[in-house]
Amino acid sequence: MKWISGILVVIVAALAIAYFSADKNTRNILANLPTDRDVLFWTVPQRDALFRALDLVPIISEARIIKAGDNPYPLPPGEPITIATDFDAYMDEQRTAALIIVQDGKVRLEKYGLDFDASGRWTSFSVAKSFTSTLVGAAIRDGYIKSIDDKVSDYIPDLKGSVYDNVSIEQLLTMTSGVKWNEDYEDRHSDVALFNEHEAEPGVDVTVSYMRKLSREAPAGRDWVYKTGETNLIGVLVSSATGKTLSEYLSQKVWAPFGMEQDASWLLGSTGHEVSGCCIQASTRDFARFGLFILGGAKVDGKPVVPDNWLAAATTKQADIGFPGKGYGYQWWTYDDGSFAAQGIFGQGIFIDPARNLVIASNSNWPRATDYETVGAQREAFYRAVKAAVDAEAK
């Protein structure tokens, strides 16, 4: 896909000229342009530089703009929250670019690192999955999709005759299709690495072209296996059903009317569809606003964007993922206490706790794509510390 394309030798001279006239941030980006074709195997300095600019370097990616509106949703300051955590140490260990805590609609904490700030946009990685899921709900409410019980191939005819013939939209949403897939981010031969390099068959979307050649390993609906490729299929499905690009539909349904402050962007695959399992570039404040949109019932001016029962199902456990106290909904990670989160590799996240009217948005560049035992566990502990601080205030 174009968002992880290699750097062409013929433009090196032009970049060298640009380097000496650019600002510090741009010079850092240009100095760290990767030669590897896969973002999963970039160095830490390369990721530091490019995670804030994947949509600004055409040789790496093409992107479609998600237009914001004219009236930003307010994020007024609140009383600073007191948490039993060393913020500076936490941000250093997490390699955090931005951290925002919004509680009762007010910003209780906002901190930045890695030379990043509120004006910048950071890539979401799999946080985008929860945006894509929300667009499915919107498409159902708008009448473009009849039901999540419908078969995927009814909306993507190029999947007919493949292993996806009997897979429902709900089984894609919950990642229980039973289709064999390897999501190992550190294996260059995994599906999540290989499908980014796939050359599409003529006239077929690149994701559909790759996914329709996969095989089955379990009955549909039985087992949960995390598959970014299937979220990309969901994006193709929504675009096919609505006749709109995902960026256009997200702008129309959420980004502009709810009041996101900045235009965002969505990276494109080689055949022109948004990479819907990944790669929305937005300000961290706007990621927090999306959390508030969901926290408020996915409504704009009091009018629901998704069906009445959608969020209750989407943000509660629909599939067992093998971790006590956790589960998977419709492209949301769920907790048994009623909280839920959008999560992306390298430390991106939007944590939402309805019981405490709490949203925590964070963007980071972890040393590894996933690391549940160290930085992942540390972030979970931070969420618990914030919840404890809110509870202590309530007493």
CATH number at residue 86: 3.40.710.10
Is there a domain that residue 88 lies in?
yes
pLDDT of residue 104 exceeding 80, the answer is yes
Mean pLDDT within 102-115: 98
For residue 143, what pLDDT band results from cuts at 50, 70 and 90? very high
Higher pLDDT, 24 or 382: 382
The whole model's pTM is what? 0.93
**Are residue 57 and residue 71 in the same domain, yes or no?**
no
Structural domain harbouring 27: 2-61
Q: Is residue 260 located within the same domain as residue 352?
A: yes
Q: Within this chain, do residues 252 and 315 fall inside the same structural domain, yes or no? A: yes
Give the pLDDT confidence score for residue 35 in this predicted structure.
63
Distance CA(306)–CA(304), nearest Å, equals: 6
Give me the torsion for CA of 374, 376, 380, 386, rounded to 10°.
90
pLDDT for 389 beyond 90: yes
Residue range 276-320, pLDDT digits in tens: 999 999 999 999 999 999 999 999 999 999 999 999 999 999 999
> Of 39, 61, 83, which residue is a domain's last?
61
- Look up residue 394 and give its two tokens: 């309530």
Helix (H, G, I), strand (E, B) or coil at 344: strand
Q: Is residue 194 part of a domain?
A: yes
**Secondary element (H or E) of residue 136:** helix 127-141
Q: Last residue of a domain, which of 236, 256, 291?
A: 236
150, HSE (Cβ side, Cα atoms, 13 Å): 17
Compute the average pLDDT of residues 231-236.
98
170, 175, 187, 352, 363 from 42: Cα distances, Å: 34, 27, 13, 30, 17
Tell me whether residue 349 is in a domain: yes
Mean pLDDT lowest for which of 14-18, 68-72, 109-113, 237-241? 14-18
Whether 137 maps to a domain, the answer reads no
Report whether pLDDT(24) > 90: no
**pLDDT given at position 1:** 42
Q: Is the pLDDT of residue 20 over 50?
A: no
- Is 198 in the same domain as 269? no
Residues 6+ apart with CB under 8 A from 190: 182, 183, 184
Find the angle CA(196)-CA(282)-CA(389) to the nearest 5 degrees: 115
Query: Does residue 95 sit in the same domain as residue 189?
Result: no
Q: What is the pLDDT of residue 28?
A: 73
Least confident residue range of 26-40, 236-250, 289-303: 26-40
Is residue 149 one of the residues assigned to a domain? yes
Q: What is the dihedral of CA 309, 127, 276, 34, to 10 degrees?
A: 180
278 and 322 in a common domain: yes
Q: How many CB atoms lie within 10 A of CB 238?
A: 27
Return the CATH number at 231.
1.20.58.710
Tell me, what's the pLDDT at 358?
98
Res 274: pLDDT: 97
- Whether residue 272 is found in the same domain as residue 320: yes
Averaged pLDDT of the chain? 92
Q: CB–CB of 295/316 below 8 Å?
A: no
| Domain's final residue, options 236, 257, 288 | 236
Count of beta carbons in the 10 Å neighbourhood of residue 240: 19
In this structure, the answer to whether residues 151 and 191 fall within a common structural domain is yes
Q: Is the dihedral of CA 131, 117, 344, 206 positive or negative?
A: positive
- Quick one: 114 and 148 in the same domain? no
- Give the residue-averaged pLDDT of 177-200: 93
pLDDT computed for residue 196 by the predictor: 80
Q: Is residue 37 scored above 80 in pLDDT?
A: no
Does some domain include residue 112? yes
Both 103 and 228 in a single domain?
A: no
Which pLDDT value is given to residue 26? 66
Between 274 and 372, residue with greater pLDDT:
274
Check if the beta carbon of residue 116 is closer than 8 Å to that of residue 285: no
The answer as to whether 136 is a domain residue is no
**How high is the pLDDT of residue 39?**
87
Q: Is residue 370 domain-shared with residue 297, that is, in the same domain? A: yes
* Domain count along the chain: 3
Residue 9 scores a pLDDT above 80:
no
DSSP per-residue codes, 192-258: HHHGGGPPPPTTS-HHHHHHTT--BSS-TTT-----HHHHHHHHHHHHHHHSS-HHHHHIIIIIIII
The rounded radius of gyration (Å) of the Cα atoms in the chain is 20
Q: Are residues 72 and 55 in the same domain?
A: no
In percent, how much of the chain has pLDDT > 90? 85
3-state DSSP of 241-307: HHCCCHHHHHHHHHHHHHHCCCCEEEEECCCCCECCCCCEEECHHHHHHHHHHHHCCCEECCEECCC
On the question of pLDDT at 77 being above 50, the answer is yes
Q: 255 vs 67, 117, 350, 356, CA distance in Å?
A: 7, 21, 16, 24
Is 302 within a domain?
Answer: yes
